[in-house]
């Protein structure tokens, strides 16, 4: 500053251009680090505690509206709902008894066949604090965080099917990436015939795509896709989506299959977080290394 010819009455620090360059470079650096590595998660959770009051406050108007709506709901309507729920409960109970018998039988058979026991995932209930406020993203935040033992990778579902997966955990909140997020993959299986595939998020709110399915694959409109459980993250047998349209064009090697998610990806307020899946046995080495002692073990899954 001393060497320059310009005369400054008030010293206001660096020029706007210098500040622009400095802070832009800082932002670019942060973005690079955040996108490539995950060093900044602790800083993020620290700052999240700063903005937590604002976030919590922002849910108040909606909650108040809902409460007042619930308050003015009619007596008749409540009674009818109660009756319907009772009927549903009875129907479910009879099915539950059968299911428990089958579960026992299944466990016995699995022991007989020396297969790995399937664990029943525990469930935590969580409420959506707010949903996708970014036009580009398919994420929601729920009100349980690391304080409630939520971990990254846990599966989130509602009563109808898979909704998403926990991708980031804050102390009191966690971030759920919905299955409709672009390129989010769920290993699935067709319920009717057990054909395996992978469902990818299409990026818009309401669709999934099955990629790399040959034109001749046995899929019909209306097929229900359930999780296959192969990845060890999603427990097997949870409904994911229903096949909507199938375009078989001989010019392409793969069929174009669009599905609609069964879980209320954009609708509900309450979700269930499944407890983390048991880790699968370690994947066997691709190329057997001769020096290793363990290479005898051939654990398939």
Binding site for another protein (CB under 8 A): 12, 16-17, 19-20, 23-24, 26-31, 33-35, 40, 43-44, 47-48, 50-51, 54-55, 57-59, 61-62, 130-137, 139, 141, 168, 175, 182, 203, 266
| Sign of the Cα pseudo-torsion (32, 168, 268, 244, in order) | positive
- Helix (H) or strand (E) segment spanning residue 45: helix 41-58
Q: Compute how many other C-beta atoms are within 10 angstroms of the C-beta atom of residue 156.
A: 25
For the bound state, the minimum distance from the C-beta of residue 134 to another protein, rounded and expressed in Å, comes to: 5
Output 127 or 218, the one with its CB closest to another protein.
127
Taking the least distance from each CB to another protein, the nearer of 51 and 101 is 51
Q: Could you list the beta-strand ranges (E) of the chain.
A: 123-131, 139-142, 155-157, 162-169, 174-178, 185-190, 196-201, 208-210, 224-227, 239-247, 256-261, 270-274
Tell me whether residue 130 or residue 254 sits nearer to another protein (CB atom).
130
Nearest by Cα to 131 from 101, 95, 173: 173
- Rounded to the nearest 5 degrees, what angle is found at the Cα of 123, between the Cα atoms of 84 and 43? 130
φ/ψ of residue 232, rounded to 5:
80, 5
Q: Which is nearer to another protein, 48 or 227 (CB)?
A: 48
Residues 6+ apart with CB under 8 A from 247: 255, 256, 257
- With the C-alpha atoms ordered 47, 48, 53, 55, is the resulting torsion angle positive or negative? positive
Shortest reach from residue 295's CB to another protein, in Å: 40
Smallest distance from another protein to CB 172, Å: 13
What's the min distance (Å) between Cβ of 13 and another protein?
9
- 168 or 207, CB closer to another protein? 168
SS3 47: helix
Considering the complex, state which of residue 35 and residue 250 has its C-beta at the smaller distance from another protein.
35
3-state DSSP call for residue 49?
helix
CB of 60 to another protein, least distance (A): 10
Write down the least CB distance from residue 185 to another protein, Å.
15
Residue 163 beta carbon to another protein: minimum distance, rounded to whole angstroms: 15
Q: Please identify, using beta-carbon distances, which residue of 244 and 266 lies nearer to another protein.
A: 266
């Amino acid at each position: 500053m001393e060497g320059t010819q310009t005369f400054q009455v008030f010293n206001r620090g660096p020029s706007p251009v210098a500040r622009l360059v400095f802070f832009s470079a800082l932002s670019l650096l942060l973005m690079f680090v955040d996108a490539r590595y995950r060093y900044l998660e602790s800083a993020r959770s620290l700052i999240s505690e700063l903005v937590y009051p604002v976030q919590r406050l922002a849910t108040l108007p909606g909650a108040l509206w809902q409460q007042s709506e619930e308050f003015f709901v009619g007596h008749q309507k409540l009674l009818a709902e109660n009756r319907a729920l009772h009927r549903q409960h009875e129907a479910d109970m009879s099915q539950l008894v059968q299911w428990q018998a089958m579960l026992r039988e299944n466990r016995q058979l699995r022991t007989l066949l020396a297969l790995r026991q399937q664990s029943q995932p525990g469930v935590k209930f969580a409420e959506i604090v707010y949903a996708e406020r970014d036009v580009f993203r398919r994420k929601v935040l729920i009100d349980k965080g690391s304080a409630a033992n939520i971990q990254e990778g846990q599966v989130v579902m509602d009563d109808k099917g898979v909704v998403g997966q926990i991708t980031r955990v804050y102390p009191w909140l966690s971030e759920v990436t919905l299955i409709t997020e672009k390129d989010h993959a769920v290993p699935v299986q067709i319920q009717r015939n057990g054909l395996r595939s992978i469902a990818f998020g299409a990026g818009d709110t309401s669709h999934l795509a099955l990629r790399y399915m040959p034109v001749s694959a046995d899929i019909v409109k209306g097929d229900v896709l359930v999780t296959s459980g192969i990845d060890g993250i999603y427990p097997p047998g949870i409904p994911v989506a229903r096949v909507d349209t199938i375009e078989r064009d001989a010019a392409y090697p793969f069929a174009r299959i669009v599905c609609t998610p069964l879980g209320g990806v954009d609708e509900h307020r309450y979700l269930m977080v499944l407890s983390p899946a048991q880790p699968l046995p370690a994947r066997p080495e691709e190329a057997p290394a001769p020096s290793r002692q363990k290479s005898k073990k051939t654990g398939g899954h």
